[in-house]
Amino acid sequence: MSERAAPFYCPYCGDEDLRPNEQGHGAWECAACNRAFQLKFLGLLARGVRQDNGGGNEI
């Protein structure tokens, strides 16, 4: 299994001083604003891959 992805900055204050939180997978805490938050991957969107066959000029 791969390592968890780390956020680059706090979504509340924008600071980069983040640490993993003890609440579990995806939980982080910000030392600057003293907030805890959790990140969660929800899934892929159904419209994720589109083919564009819309009449462009071919070279």
pLDDT digit string (tens) for 4-52?
678 999 999 999 999 999 988 889 999 999 999 998 888 888 875 666 6
- Is the pLDDT confidence value at 2 over 60? no
Q: Pick the more confident residue, 43 or 1.
A: 43
For residue 44, the number of C-alpha atoms closer than 13 Å in the C-beta half-sphere is 4
54 confidence band (pLDDT: 50, 70, 90): low
Dihedral sign from CA coordinates of 31, 37, 43, 46: negative
pLDDT of residue 20: 94
Q: What is the pTM of this model?
A: 0.64
Length of the chain, in residues: 59
Angle at 55 between CA 51 and CA 59, to 5 degrees: 100
